[in-house]
Chains A and B, each alone.
Chain A
Amino acid sequence: MNHALESLGRRGVNFVAKTGGIFFMMVKFIASLKDIPFSLRLIVEQIYLVGVRSLPLIITISIFIGAVSVWQAAYQFKFIGAPLRLLGQAVGKAVVIELAPVLSALVFAGRVGAGITAELGTMRVTEQIDALESMGISPIRYLVLPRVVASTLMLPFLVIFANFVAILGGVIVSVAGVAVSSETFLNGFRDSFNLSDFNNGLIKAAVFGFLIGIVGCYEGFNAGGGAQGVGKATTSAVVVASVLILVSNFVFALMLFRI
């Protein structure tokens, strides 16, 4: 009993420490924004690594997101007897508002967030971060700033692609599998398309990208205890980022999409 309480207490303390640490990382990141002019080369490099290099993965998952959405929507339409010409409207909304931003963010957390933590965590345990500091170089400016800027900017960019490709995947399935013509599907999509939904999806993506970058850097900076510690930190980065994405997504739903 005592033991369980103690363990619970320790978890509580860890949770508070982590929340505080992540918040503090955000503050330090924001304070480092003034150094952007001196870090342009590093930012461009990260934009390439984080954004451009994630494109193939995002494209691949998006085709299947569109494809399965159309398939499942058609399946349900059949049961409730809804006309299939509404397929494009239903799927289009779901993709633009929720599926493309959230699923891209979760995949991005797995690829980019984990990558940031593994890299920075290794730098931490091999004293490379100490070495940077000893040279008078701020690790926040040199490591955190470029990564967080890149992930904040690039996730929305990737979501734009995800939207297009998911709709394309949807068209393919609706033509090939559901016997709804591409005109019907795309007309339905266009009728329901709303620029503010699209923009809200991108705003969400930017926030998710920011959270993924911050959590990835925080976990990497606080990795300890050799390779095993880096592994733990990496897992933790993906878990924490995923939870934050889904929780903040619900908050966005309440704020942006008033019923």
Chain B
Amino acid sequence: MSDQLIQIEHLRKSFGGNEVLKGIDLTISRGDAIAIIGQSGCGKSVLLKHLIRLLKPDEGTVTFDGQDIATADSRWLREMRYRVGVLFQSAALFDSMSVAENVGLGLKESREYSPKQIAEKVAEKLDLVGLGSATNKYPSELSGGMRKRVGLARAIATDPEVLLYDEPTTGLDPITSDMINDLIVDLRDKLNVTSIAVTHDMVSAYKIADRIVMLYDGVVQFDGTPKDAQTTDDPIVQQFINGRAIGPIQVR
């Protein structure tokens, strides 16, 4: 087994006339902890969705474990998706289901667990995100930050080997944010989960990632360690991580 888990080559994607990804090249190895940063609307969520074929490339390929996912059959795809947990930017909770049902759905549909095992796992994951008491609530009764955390519990419910987080700490208070950061670090350290997190929160990025990838104008502008990111003389990266309105990046 090679160390390379995901390979993105020359990935291009447009919506109508709007070219969002203009040739992304990125290789992700097992155990990597990547933070993807970049301006709002630059295509971070779109990139994440390509990794599990929720979107298909216009050009270029995404390879997972040696298999081009665009040409994979539905069975392979299903198995691949079992191995990947996703936290959506909007949390995307099923609003007809309680918190417990949301978190347990993947377990239940895999038909590998008894109801009792599912209940135990659900309780365990909800405790991890600090929501052990919200089991029987419905998504509409939760705050934005609570929804995010239920989404996170759902993403990790099936103990996936790869986790995609779309802004895991956005909308959380600093203390809860830190708790989620710790959880993400724990998952990586204890279970050797490969994680790819989109984030705007540089504190979080430095904490959870050992590799920072910056998207700019549809391509990878920067790819390196957090330390490199802080010391690079690339003005675009500097402007972004230091959060300055003045610089080469124009706010669109």
Which A residues have a C-beta under 8 Å from some C-beta of B?
Answer: 38, 122-123, 126-128, 130-138, 142
Apart from A135-B106, A137-B105, list 7 A-B contacts with CB within 8 A.
A123-B94, A126-B90, A128-B94, A130-B49, A135-B82, A135-B109, A136-B79
| A131 x B109 contact (CB < 8 A) | no
| B109 x A134 contact (CB < 8 A) | no
Residue in A126, A130, A135, A137 with the greatest tally of chain B CB atoms within 10 Å: A135
| A131 x B92 contact (CB < 8 A) | yes
Instruction: Give the distance to chain B from A120, nearest Cβ to Cβ, in Å.
Output: 11
Instruction: Give the distance to chain A from B175, nearest Cβ to Cβ, in Å.
Output: 27
| Chain B residues whose CB sits within 8 angstroms of the CB of A126 once the complex forms | 90, 92, 95
A-B contacts, 28 listed (Cβ < 8 Å): A122-B95, A126-B95, A127-B89, A127-B92, A128-B92, A130-B49, A130-B88, A130-B92, A131-B88, A131-B92, A131-B94, A132-B94, A133-B52, A134-B52, A134-B81, A134-B84, A135-B81, A135-B105, A135-B106, A135-B109, A136-B78, A136-B79, A136-B106, A136-B109, A136-B110, A137-B105, A137-B109, A138-B74
Residue in A122, A130, A136 with the greatest tally of chain B CB atoms within 10 Å: A136
The answer, among B77, B79, B84, B86, for a CB contact under 8 Å with A131, is: B86
Closest 6 CB pairs of A and B: A127-B92, A136-B81, A131-B92, A134-B86, A136-B78, A135-B106
**CA of A133 to CA of B49 in the docked complex: distance in angstroms?**
11
**CA of A190 to CA of B86 in the docked complex: distance in angstroms?**
62
| Chain A residues whose CB sits within 8 angstroms of the CB of B93 once the complex forms | 128, 131
| B109 x A130 contact (CB < 8 A) | no
Q: Is B1 an interface residue (CB 8 A)?
A: no
Instruction: Give the distance to chain A from B8, nearest Cβ to Cβ, in Å.
Output: 18
The answer, among A38, A123, A127, A142, for a CB contact under 8 Å with B88, is: A127
**CA of A127 to CA of B111 in the docked complex: distance in angstroms?**
24
Interface string of B108-146 (1 = CB under 8 A from A): 011100000000000000000000000000000000000
Instruction: Give the distance to chain A from B43, nearest Cβ to Cβ, in Å.
Output: 16
| A128 x B106 contact (CB < 8 A) | no
Q: Is the interface of A mostly helix, strand, loop or mixed?
A: helix
Q: Is B54 an interface residue (CB 8 A)?
A: yes
Which B residues have a C-beta under 8 Å from some C-beta of A?
Answer: 49, 52, 54, 74, 77-79, 81-82, 84, 86, 88-90, 92-95, 105-106, 109-111, 154, 158
| Chain A residues whose CB sits within 8 angstroms of the CB of B77 once the complex forms | 136
| A128 x B95 contact (CB < 8 A) | yes
| Chain A residues whose CB sits within 8 angstroms of the CB of B86 once the complex forms | 131, 134
| Chain B residues whose CB sits within 8 angstroms of the CB of A136 once the complex forms | 77-79, 81-82, 106, 109-110
Q: In the complex, what residue of chain A is closest to B81 when comparing beta carbons? A: A136
**CA of A137 to CA of B154 in the docked complex: distance in angstroms?**
14
| Chain A residues whose CB sits within 8 angstroms of the CB of B81 once the complex forms | 133-136
Instruction: Give the distance to chain B from A119, nearest Cβ to Cβ, in Å.
Output: 8
| A130 x B82 contact (CB < 8 A) | no
| B90 x A127 contact (CB < 8 A) | yes
| A130 x B94 contact (CB < 8 A) | no
Q: In the complex, what residue of chain B is closest to A134 when comparing beta carbons? A: B86
**CA of A106 to CA of B86 in the docked complex: distance in angstroms?**
40
**CA of A174 to CA of B37 in the docked complex: distance in angstroms?**
75
| Chain A residues whose CB sits within 8 angstroms of the CB of B74 once the complex forms | 138
The answer, among A122, A128, A133, A138, for a CB contact under 8 Å with B54, is: A133
| Chain A residues whose CB sits within 8 angstroms of the CB of B106 once the complex forms | 135-137
Instruction: Give the distance to chain B from A122, nearest Cβ to Cβ, in Å.
Output: 8
**CA of A132 to CA of B105 in the docked complex: distance in angstroms?**
9
| Chain B residues whose CB sits within 8 angstroms of the CB of A123 once the complex forms | 94
Q: In the complex, what residue of chain B is closest to A127 when comparing beta carbons? A: B92
| Chain A residues whose CB sits within 8 angstroms of the CB of B89 once the complex forms | 127
| Chain B residues whose CB sits within 8 angstroms of the CB of A142 once the complex forms | 109
| Chain A residues whose CB sits within 8 angstroms of the CB of B105 once the complex forms | 135, 137
**CA of A134 to CA of B162 in the docked complex: distance in angstroms?**
12
| Chain A residues whose CB sits within 8 angstroms of the CB of B154 once the complex forms | 131
**CA of A134 to CA of B82 in the docked complex: distance in angstroms?**
8
**CA of A123 to CA of B90 in the docked complex: distance in angstroms?**
12
